[in-house]
Structure 1
Amino acid sequence: MSDILDVSHQREAIAKAAAYLSGILEPHFKKTAKFEPPRTLIICGSGLGGISTKLSIDNPPPITIPYQDIPGFKKSTVPGHSGTLMFGSMNGSPVVLMNGRLHGYEGNTLFETTFPIRVLNHMGHVHNLIVTNAAGGINAKYQACDLMCIYDHLNIPGLAGQHPLRGPNLDEVGPRFLALSDAYDLELRKLLFKKWKELKIQRPLHEGTYTFVSGPTFETRAESKMIRMLGGDAVGMSTVPEVIVARHCGWRVLALSLITNTCVVDSPASALDESPVPLEKGKATHAEVLENGKIASNDVQNLIAAVMEEL
């Protein structure tokens, strides 16, 4: 797909993918009278694909559809992202999971990274988005394996012109000029904290601002310092385009970050230092992201499943 598709090509691509999914889902689920179309989309971030283990195995049985089989979907290329849509039920609530997401740094356009949301919206049943991610901690109070409920964001690429709503507007879906001051639903955030208390999760749950950067490089020290000065509490390479498109569709949004590493904000060692701090100290790696994702994944899975009880 080109960077910007005209409206007719957008509509055609969305309708084609929606028709394909309907053609698979209807025969699969027609054997059970208990099936309801999903009302909630859950996007599983890096190392958080285990959320799928919370799907019920019967009544109805889940179905998994690889991205590459769906017209218009791109294949996920990132370790820790299986790249499948999973339809089923979680704690009695019909749900669809994106087990792994698509990123711009993989070479996808913003239309392609948010295409699944457009397709599910076209199918007409999903109205809630629960999005999870792995993020670097910018706030000095955050530690690796803490959780953060997102209540605001900084869209760095968007401020520079790389915005998911750039181009012709789908007027039948949402407005040309979309307000985002209410992007993260207050009642859903209250529900998340309520379930965190009920489950007696010992892992800290903060509330803060997520900063979206394009990646795929982890931030320099100066960039991390800048993000902290701008008011960012965590930083990552996803989520914000998905949130913006979901809000354009009129969905409610709940977003949860797993802090997988703490970002380095101290200035690098000077060549003039007699005993410099090694530059490698605190350096982020994708292996660290996945490993800390495993450590905290059970709490994330249980928390999301508990929220789903009331959606």
Structure 2
Amino acid sequence: MNQIDMSRKQPLAQVSAAVESLHSRFESYLHSPVGVILGTGLGQWVESLEGQLCIDYSDIVGFPRSTVRSHAGNLCAGWIDKVPVLALQGRFHLYEGYSPDQVCFGVRTLARFGVKKMIITNAAGALNPLFHPGEMMVISDQINMTGHNPLIGLSYGEPQFPDMSQLYSQKLMKLVHSKALELNYRLQEGVYIGILGPSLETPAETRAYRALGADAIGMSTVMETIAACQMGMEILGLSCLTNKNLPDCMVPTSLEEIIDVGQDIEPRLTALLNVVIPEMHAMK
């Protein structure tokens, strides 16, 4: 077998090894219909799970480690209204030095566990001048400005050229809008642009990204969403808007401020997820 063939098979084997190492502890959650990725400052949602079980990433064969503050670094399982759920409490980023393959390791592990519908959350900066910190945004589409792609050279046995004309599920977008309305939550909708980071964007970059059609900006999500699409998942994206970028009057921000606003949004995100997930499970 040549070197290229080996490089294609090795990540597959690593994901399979991670799944195998979890079987005995997560046997009740095999074929869980819904998976969730929790972004910066949003990890407390797992506390609402019934029968909560969390395992540190360091205890899972092959799993990367989450190094960013406010990312707990646990794979969690539990139940919401009798629906089994798997959740990544913290994610991996390109700016941490991880490869696209490592960034998507958790998503691919959940897919091998049988997850068919994925909710991907993040903390993001608002680029649309009509959006405000403290609001949530349904992601309608995305722009990948990281310069990376998790599908390069690695097929994972799935299509290497997946269609992305409807990357985010229209059905799930309609569902979350209707549930937000019932909860009397203001929910924006727009395009998310993913950048490499970790430096925050300049005023000139902010103008450029807004000109491209982006409504919110962050340093995650786009890699995971591409991988989830390749694995055949239905995807719902939710951005929690933690700061606002107006290029003509940029206000300095920090990770601490982003975490604080994310934690303020988290109770509303928890309530929304807890009514959306059972409906997602019921949808055909």
Provide TM-score, normalisation by structure 1: 0.85
Identify which of 205, 227, 230 aligns with 1:223: 205
Separation in 1 of the partners of 2:31 and 2:116?
Answer: 11
Q: Is 1:214 aligned to residue 196 of structure 2?
A: yes
Report the residue type matching 1:50 in the other structure. Q
Question: What is the Cα deviation at residue 36 of structure 1?
Answer: 6.3
Question: What is the Cα deviation at residue 105 of structure 1?
Answer: 0.8
Give the paired residue count: 276
Identify which of 99, 102, 105 aligns with 1:112: 102
The answer (yes or no) to whether the contact 2:35–2:117 under 8 Å persists in 1 is yes
Q: SS at 2:112's partner residue?
A: helix
Runs (4+) off by over 4 Å:
none
Q: Is 1:178 aligned to residue 172 of structure 2?
A: no
Separation in 2 of the partners of 1:137 and 1:68?
Answer: 34
The answer (yes or no) to whether the contact 1:134–1:293 under 8 Å persists in 2 is yes
Q: Is 1:148 aligned to residue 137 of structure 2?
A: yes
Q: SS at 1:23's partner residue?
A: coil
Using the TM superposition, name which of 148-157 and 36-45 deviates more: 36-45
1:160-212 CA-partner distances (Å, limit 9, x unpaired): 3x111111322x3x2121111110000000000010011122xx211100000
Q: How does 1:19-168 map to 2 (within 5 A)?
A: 19-26=20-27, 29=28, 37-56=31-50, 61-123=51-113, 125-157=114-146, 160=147, 162-168=148-154
Question: What is the Cα deviation at residue 120 of structure 1?
Answer: 2.1
Q: SS at 1:43's partner residue?
A: strand
Q: Is 1:195 aligned to residue 182 of structure 2?
A: no
1:145-168 CA-partner distances (Å, limit 9, x unpaired): 1111000001012xx3x1111113
1:276 maps to which residue? Answer: none
Q: Which runs of 5+ in 2 are unaligned?
A: none
Q: Which runs of 5+ in 1 are unaligned?
A: 30-34, 268-280
The answer (yes or no) to whether the contact 1:45–1:132 under 8 Å persists in 2 is yes
Please tell me the root mean square deviation across aligned C-alpha atoms, in Å: 1.6
Report the residue type matching 2:32 in the other structure. P
Separation in 2 of the partners of 1:297 and 1:131?
Answer: 14
Q: Is 1:242 aligned to residue 232 of structure 2?
A: no
Report the residue type matching 2:212 in the other structure. L
Q: SS at 2:26's partner residue?
A: helix
1:222-281 CA-partner distances (Å, limit 9, x unpaired): 1111000000000000011111101100000000001100013117xxxxxxxxxxxxx6
Provide TM-score, normalisation by structure 2: 0.93
2:255 maps to which residue? Answer: 286
- 1:15/1:47 Cα in 2 relative to 1: closer, same or farther (>3 Å)? same
- 1:249/1:36 Cα in 2 relative to 1: closer, same or farther (>3 Å)? closer
1:274 maps to which residue? Answer: none
Using the TM superposition, name which of 111-120 and 247-256 deviates more: 111-120
The answer (yes or no) to whether the contact 1:76–1:100 under 8 Å persists in 2 is yes
Q: Is 1:305 aligned to residue 274 of structure 2?
A: yes
1:275-306 CA-partner distances (Å, limit 9, x unpaired): xxxxxx61121111011112211111100111
Identity score, percent: 34
- Structure number with larger C-alpha Rg: 1
The answer (yes or no) to whether the contact 1:38–1:87 under 8 Å persists in 2 is no
- 1:6/1:36 Cα in 2 relative to 1: closer, same or farther (>3 Å)? closer
Q: SS at 1:181's partner residue?
A: coil
Separation in 2 of the partners of 1:5 and 1:113?
Answer: 20
